[in-house]
Amino acid sequence: GAVVSQHPSWVICKSGTSVKIECRSLDFQATTMFWYRQFPKQSLMLMATSNEGSKATYEQGVEKDKFLINHASLTLSTLTVTSAHPEDSSFYICSARRHGGDTQYFGPGTRLTVL
Amino acid sequence: ELKVEQNPLFLSMQEGKNYTIYCNYSTTSDRLYWYRQDPGKSLESLFVLLSNGAVKQEGRLMASLDTKARLSTLHITAAVHDLSATYFCAVVFDSNSGYALNFGKGTSLLVTP
């Protein structure tokens, strides 16, 4: 149990377009989901924390108008990168925490390349 | 400032040898995690350490936690090539933040014949 999926696995888009990434908890309800970004050969950096039904909490330096996060249900959170630019190219990983638990279950990641 | 520091950042070791990766953190933590990441892949959970003196072992890997020293170690015994990967420690500093993880920079391990 505790499987998290992400879609798409990889995406290539043109500069200026928007990209939506989905994160789903397949076999449990996730009250909290986290979005991380990882640049090549670097660590994971927390971008935002989202709780179902409420606004996401963004980390310092992360533009909330650029990285739109929606956590509309207990099994789905989406990250939309608006007006993407090449510097947004990165590996985006989500994780989910079930209600009452403290373990985060990580998705397989989405590799975004902006041309 | 919340900091998680790992060392070494890069490690090349021969098969059969032992080595330890260190993870220091800057302030009191609820819990500490170790993850493995293979190139192009997401994170695989290895260990979660919840209390001072906790020790967990899985195969050739053993993790320990000293909360007084704010130090965790990941010990590799008789390394094999399959252990080549990047290893991250991550710390929860604030349970009220929803258990958000603060990651170290990672230790890139290469095990050679």
B12 C-beta neighbours (distance < 10 Å), count: 12
Q: How far is CA B67 from CA A40, A112, B27, B91, B100, in A?
A: 31, 38, 9, 11, 19
Q: Distance (Å, rounded) from C-alpha A85 to C-alpha B78?
A: 45
Average pLDDT over chain A reads: 92
Contact A109 B100 (CB under 8 A): no
Backbone angles phi, psi at B39, to 5 degrees: -55, 130
Chain B nearest CA to A23, separation (Å): 13
Q: What is the pLDDT of residue B2?
A: 81
CA distance A107 to A57: 20
Query: pLDDT at position A101, please?
Result: 78
| Pairing verdict, β B71-76 and B61-66 | antiparallel
- The DSSP symbol for A59 reads P
pLDDT class for B27, splitting at 50, 70, 90? confident
CA distance A80 to A65: 10
Q: Residue B104: which of A43, A57, A108 has the nearest Cβ? A: A43
Mean pLDDT of B72-85: 97
DSSP state for residue A9 in the 8-state scheme: S
CA distance A30 to chain B (A): 12
Q: What are the pLDDT digits (tens) for A69-94?
A: 998 899 999 999 999 999 999 999 99
Confidence of residue A100 (pLDDT cuts 50, 70, 90): confident
The full DSSP string for B24-36 is: EESS--SEEEEEE
Binary contact (A102, B92; C-beta < 8 A): yes
Segment A14-36, tens digit of pLDDT: 999 999 999 999 999 998 999 99
**What's the pLDDT at B97?**
63
The nearest alpha carbon in chain B to A107 belongs to B42
Angle at Cα B28 formed by Cα B51 and Cα A62, nearest 5°?
120
Q: What is the pLDDT of residue B4?
A: 94
* Chain B residues in contact with A42 (beta carbon < 8 A): 105-106
What is the per-residue pLDDT for B96? 62
pLDDT band at B100 (very low <50, low <70, confident <90, very high): confident
Assign A98 to helix, strand or coil.
Answer: strand
d(CA B69, CA B89): 16
Distance from CA of B13 to the nearest CA of A (A): 19
Whether residue A96 has pLDDT greater than 80: yes
